[in-house]
């Protein structure tokens, strides 16, 4: 498969690098059993959602429903990045919980990811 988005490769690299660092820092081993992955994707709001003085407009959407950020594509690229770093293969993921939302306050865009073995 060919990736159309230019953002996918840098995303995978960033997720893999961060996951590798977490694995080393916590002295974790590669997961080789069924597991659950939970992901919260956070996206920066477009400038059009804000007034000129920086306040959120009353008509700004509550939910992040931008087509280019399809949750299934976000999950697929994230699971691919975790493969061979945190989990031996993404086929081991038997439960996936995913949310996407806009950043709140000073939060940075990105994702909070947790992986838990089920055996």
Give dist(CA 46, CA 53) in Å, integer.
Answer: 15
**This prediction's pTM:** 0.89
Structure confidence by residue, pLDDT tens digits, 65-106: 987 789 999 999 999 999 999 999 999 999 999 999 999 988
Give dist(CA 107, CA 18) in Å, integer.
Answer: 17
Confidence of residue 111 (pLDDT cuts 50, 70, 90): very high
Does any domain span residue 61? Answer: yes
Find the domain containing 26 and state its range.
8-117
Does any domain span residue 1? Answer: no
Please count the structural domains in the chain: 1
Confidence of residue 119 (pLDDT cuts 50, 70, 90): confident
Other CB atoms within 10 A of residue 71 CB: 14
Does any domain span residue 103? Answer: yes
Decide if pLDDT at 32 tops 80: yes
Percent of the chain past pLDDT 90, that is, above it, reads 86
| CATH assignment at residue 77 | 3.30.1330
Instruction: Give, in order, the Cα–Cα distances in Å from 22 to each of 11, 28, 75.
Output: 16, 8, 19
Query: Rounded mean pLDDT of the chain?
Result: 93
Average pLDDT rounded to a whole number, residues 51-70 = 90
């Amino acid at each position: 498969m060919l990736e159309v988005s230019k953002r996918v490769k840098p995303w995978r690299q960033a997720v893999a690098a961060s996951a590798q660092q977490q694995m080393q820092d916590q002295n974790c081993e590669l997961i080789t059993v069924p597991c659950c992955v939970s992901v919260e994707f956070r996206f920066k709001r477009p400038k059009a959602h804000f007034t000129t003085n920086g306040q959120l407009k009353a008509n700004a959407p509550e939910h992040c429903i931008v087509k280019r950020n399809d949750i299934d594509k976000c999950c697929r690229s994230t699971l691919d990045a975790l493969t061979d770093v945190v989990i031996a293969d993404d086929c081991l993921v038997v439960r996936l919980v995913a949310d996407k939302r806009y950043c709140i306050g000073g939060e940075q865009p990105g994702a909070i990811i947790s992986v838990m073995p089920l055996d």
